[in-house]
Structure 1
Amino acid sequence: MNNSRRSFLKVAGLSVFALSSGVAGLANAAQVAPGRYERGANALHAKRWAMVIDTRAFKSAEEYKPIIEACHSFHNVPKIPGKQEVKWMWLDNYDHAFPDDLSEHQKPSLLQAQFPLLCNHCTNPPCVRVCPTQATYKMEDGIVAMDYHRCIGCRFCMAGCPYGARSFNFVDPRKYLSDPVPNPTFPTRMIGVVEKCTFCAERLAVGKMPACVEASGGRILFGDLDDPSSSVRKALADNFSIRRKPNLGTQPGVYYLI
């Protein structure tokens, strides 16, 4: 047996062992609730958090960049070059963002525009169903959260997510952060775990709106989808909106006004 084949079998064997151990421990893991965000006295509450992005209020892709930077800076998202990049919010074109849109004759400016993408915090999140350790879990307010200590790096959640909203730390992300880190109050991640947008659950827990919402100057709304008087419900009632891949039945919690 040559060295390359021996190395491959060794790595494959360790991977299978890690996954089987994680699945075998699922029964015990299910009895212990994943890490939760402790809410302070000023915490913001909702039955179902949702986001509405008014794309009509953005004149160019450049106007989204400060919003993305606010998100990444607050959450210590590393700037790793190349295909190993980590992203919580990013830009993509109309065809990639909304591949199943049924409107055949949209205006050219819309078809040529860039759109901000992030975790959709679905009502029926497939990532939660496939996670063997409950590292990915759904909170009672609709937010799909991550417990990095439970993540075994199997990347099942990445395979299950139809929106490409998760990043895997192939390399140590801490090596790509400035010293000191942008936000010393938010934990940094380690190599071998998955991460993504959290709808700023940690900010909601202390009475603050998501970082991207604050940086948007009112162009991104955030509120309780189950409350008819909320800003998001009013915006959706008065304007035409679309969501990403609605035909999949995941019920995304991010809406786009176009």
Structure 2
Amino acid sequence: MSINRRDFLKKAGVITALGLGGAITLDAFEVLEPLKAADFTSPEDLTGKRWALVIDMSKLTQTDIDEVIASCHDLHNVPDMGNPKDEIKWIWTDTYEHVFPGIENHYLDETTEKMPFLTLCNHCDKPPCVRVCPTKATFRREDGVVGMDMHRCIGCRFCMAACPYGARSFNYWDPTPHIKEINPDYPRRSKGVVEKCNLCMDRIDQGLEPACVEKSKGAIVFGNLSDPDSAVRKLLSSNFSIRRKPELGTQPSVYYLIGGEERA
């Protein structure tokens, strides 16, 4: 993306003003508007692609879940703050009643009720977080991935308020001292920045699957929703699946299969 010096200074001025608590005006949004989601999309032809995940909970043991979370967090330099209050999470677990609050069942079987559901950003087709971000730090790519340019984030936390899934975390403290082993191939964040799962979009652009998929031993399937012959479409057409809060109209691209073989 090319930009001249004058436009760069205008953009920098707006972002600085927003970061210092300046008024957010229509002019501010107009200055930042030239940045498009396509600017973050791989140059390869992605027409017709809509990436999605299908998570088969029946195939995940607690050991599998721990390995999936560790692989994601290690790869992306996600810090371990050591307490729930300041927790930074890209992928985590929660109970059925919290993950699917709109699907009430007073007679739910005990196994499902206590199951640790893997939870992450839903990479919505209509993501509310993208609409509220004043600096375009949050964006939706042409292939459906909702990513973040964390260097543009000013920490306003509008996206956190807009996300109905609690999929975003805020760095109240410098995360660097809380990273056990830094991965030099992935950018680190600073204090005052929001972060979340980006579906390993850098890996996707290299023709690789997301780290969670690779580590899940087949329990998490990645593929193109737009392709009727893809693995995800075949799973969804032959199994009953549920999504988180579909009634909101955000169109999540993460699907869950709950039935199946007994977990180990």
TM-score grouping bracket, smaller chain normalisation: 0.7 to 0.9
Q: Count how many residue pairs are aligned between Structure 1 and Structure 2.
A: 240
Structure 1 CA distance for aligned equivalents of residues 196 and 214 of structure 2:
19
Q: What secondary structure does 1:25 align onto?
A: helix
Distance of aligned partners of 1:57 and 1:33 in 2 relative to their CA distance in 1, 3 Å threshold: same
Paired position in structure 2 for 1:185: 185
CA distance in 1, matches of 2:104, 2:52: 23
2:164 to 148, 162, 165: 162
Distance 1:248 1:146, change over 3 A: same
Residue of structure 2 equivalent to 1:26: 29
Matches of 1:19 and 1:237, distance apart in 2: 50
| RMSD across aligned positions (CA) | 2.1
> Where does residue 4 of structure 1 map in the other structure?
none
Q: CA deviation at 1:207?
A: 1.2
Give the equivalent residue in structure 2 for 1:47.
49
Instruction: Determine the structure 1 residue equivalent to 2:138.
Output: 136
Mapped contact 1:222–1:231 kept (Cα < 8 A): yes
Q: Greater CA deviation, 147-156 or 27-36?
A: 27-36
Shift of 1:16: 8.4
In the other structure, the counterpart of 2:63 is 62
Q: Deviations over 1:71-117 (max 9, x none)?
A: 00110101112211110000101110111114443322111111010
- In structure 2, the gaps of 5 or more residues are 1-16, 259-264
TM-score normalized by structure 2?
A: 0.85
Equivalence for 2:40: 36
Structure 1 SS opposite 2:21 = helix
Q: Please state how far the C-alpha of 1:133 moved relative to its aligned partner.
A: 1.2
Q: Distance in 1 between matches of 2:19 and 2:222?
A: 41
- 1:3 counterpart residue number: none
Segment drifting more, 165-174 vs 102-111: 102-111
1:246 aligns with 2:246: yes
Does 2:203 align with 1:210?
no
One-letter code of the match for 2:49?
K
Q: Within 1, Cα distance between the matches of 2:162 and 2:99?
A: 17
Q: Once structures 1 and 2 are overlaid, which stretch shifts more, 159-168 or 130-139?
A: 130-139
Work out whether 1:232 is the aligned partner of 2:232. yes
Cα offsets for 1:21-54 (capped at 9, x unmatched): 58642211101336525457xx988611000000
Q: CA deviation at 1:175?
A: 1.7
- Following TM superposition, by how much is the alpha carbon of 1:251 offset from its aligned partner in structure 2, in angstroms? 0.7
CA distance in 2, matches of 1:195, 1:234: 32
Amino acid at match of 1:18: G
- Whether the 8 Å CA contact 1:37–1:202 is kept in 2: the answer is no
Q: Distance in 1 between matches of 2:186 and 2:25?
A: 27
Percent identity between matched residues is 50
Q: How far has the Cα of 1:194 moved from its partner? A: 0.6
Cα separation, partners in 2 of 1:104 and 1:225, compared to 1, 3 Å: farther
Whether the aligned pair in 2 keeps the contact of 1:174 and 1:188 (CA below 8 Å) is yes
Q: Who is 2:148 aligned against?
A: 146
**What TM-score do the two structures reach when normalised by structure 1?**
0.86
* 1:168–1:195 contact (8 Å) kept in structure 2: yes
Paired residues of 1:133 and 1:151 also in contact (CA < 8 A) = yes
- Answer with 125-134 or 26-35: which moved more: 26-35
